[in-house]
Chains A and B, each alone.
Chain A
Amino acid sequence: MVQLKLDPASPIPMYLQIAEQVRRAVASGGLQADDEMPSVRALASRHLINPNTVARAYLELEREGLLTKRRGAGTYVAHEAEELRDAQRTRIVTGLIDKTLDTARQFGWTPGQIRKAVEERLNQTKMESQR
């Protein structure tokens, strides 16, 4: 069962908020192949949002191959979702790396400085987790 945290007052459209949280749940393993998704109706009622918004998010995820509709039986996480998991993970981590690189470049850091900083953090966090 995915727990969605939706913010209607955010600049990010609601359907994108839903889609991204489902993608992340698939990436983290919180959602697995053949898990049943709540119906459009149920999700709309629970979060007091427009059913069209939920439907749009589901449609987007179906197009990406993460969700699949089974005739007369609702919406499920697709078999292929597990294969797509690595791609999702790569996408999410790459996005975060890009943000870091943007900031570092704004500060005028050279590729060498950035690499060194990443190495240092890797070593430090490794030591912390071993303790």
Chain B
Amino acid sequence: MSQPAIAVEGLSKRFGKRAAVDGLSFEVPTGGVCGFLGRNGAGKTTAIRMLMNLTDPSAGRALLLGLDARRDHAELMARVGYVAEVPILYDWMTVRELARFTSQFYARWNTAAVDALLGRFGIDTRQKVRHLSRGTQAQLALALAMGHDPELLILDEPATGLDVLVRRDFLESIIQIVQQEGRTVLFSSHLVHEVERVADQIVVIEEGRLLTSASLDDLKQQAGQSLEEIFVGLVGRREEVRQ
């Protein structure tokens, strides 16, 4: 086995007394799509923010591409792409200006690849970002996150708020991204059906804790159930234990 794209070891984040992420450990193999599933408020965004060094863990650590998410952050920036749940885009710029501006943060930038994605999404590069719909802004964020040819792409609820057709387009771009050998995508979602379609690996968390981490095919074969039934079973069982 090659080195995992993501290795999370005992990762925890406390806000006062509350643990948003609580001793989370899992691995994501290189070269696939990992669906990071959990209900709203399960701790997905907090966990992802620690992967991206946007917030410090209270305990534990995360390795991306074998590098420490905190210590090696600078090197990781050049090799990891990230789209936040609500991407922050300078909306007074035009699409073209924003693309040029973003490219300046990277030593390597694939203008052709970004232009191809913008073209596929049908984004007019002369438009001001503020005049784009939410869905188009999400696609723009994805296109820009691909500009430095990241080996690992981390997407936080990438399709939330997008209509069905745009979501399909978005999933298709995710599929195309992993077609390029050795690339890994982690995307968080609370939409089981979306994850079921494109993911080959599943990580489920609830209340900041890991419920399961396994290949989707293996999970289905063992349970003889759809992912939705498995998910409800896992989360529901936890609820029962708590009461």
Query: Which B residues from 167 to 219 make CB contacts under 8 A with A?
Result: 168, 171-172, 175-176, 178-179, 193, 196-200, 216-217
Cβ of B217 to closest chain A Cβ, rounded Å: 4
Query: Which A residues from 54 to 69 make CB contacts under 8 A with B?
Result: 56
A41 at the interface (CB under 8 A from B): yes
A97 at the interface (CB under 8 A from B): no
Q: How far is the CA of A30 from the CA of B162 in the complex (A)?
A: 39
Contact check, A45 vs B172: say whether CB atoms are below 8 A apart: yes
Contact check, B179 vs A51: say whether CB atoms are below 8 A apart: yes
B residues less than 8 Å from A11 (CB atoms): 220, 223-226, 229
Number of interface residues of A (CB under 8 A): 19
Q: Which residue of B lies closest to A50 (CB)?
A: B200
Q: How far is the CA of A67 from the CA of B172 in the complex (A)?
A: 27
| Tally of contacts, chain A with chain B, CB under 8 A | 58
Q: Which residue of A lies closest to B229 (CB)?
A: A11
Contact check, A9 vs B175: say whether CB atoms are below 8 A apart: no
| Segment among A12-20, A76-84, A100-108, A118-126 that sits at the interface with chain B | A12-20
Q: How far is the CA of A6 from the CA of B197 in the complex (A)?
A: 10
B32 at the interface (CB under 8 A from A): yes
Contact check, B31 vs A52: say whether CB atoms are below 8 A apart: yes
Contact check, B197 vs A48: say whether CB atoms are below 8 A apart: yes
Q: How far is the CA of A51 from the CA of B196 in the complex (A)?
A: 13
Contact check, A50 vs B168: say whether CB atoms are below 8 A apart: no
A130 at the interface (CB under 8 A from B): no
B228 at the interface (CB under 8 A from A): yes
A residues less than 8 Å from B226 (CB atoms): 9-11
B residues less than 8 Å from A16 (CB atoms): 217, 221
B residues less than 8 Å from A49 (CB atoms): 175, 197-198
Q: Which positions in A face B, CB cutoff 8 Å? A: 8-16, 41, 44-45, 48-53, 56
Q: Which positions in B face A, CB cutoff 8 Å? A: 31-33, 168, 171-172, 175-176, 178-179, 193, 196-200, 216-217, 220-221, 223-229
18 intermolecular pairs with C-beta atoms under 8 Å apart: A8-B193, A8-B197, A9-B227, A9-B228, A11-B224, A45-B172, A45-B176, A45-B179, A48-B197, A48-B198, A50-B32, A50-B175, A50-B178, A50-B198, A50-B199, A51-B179, A52-B31, A52-B33
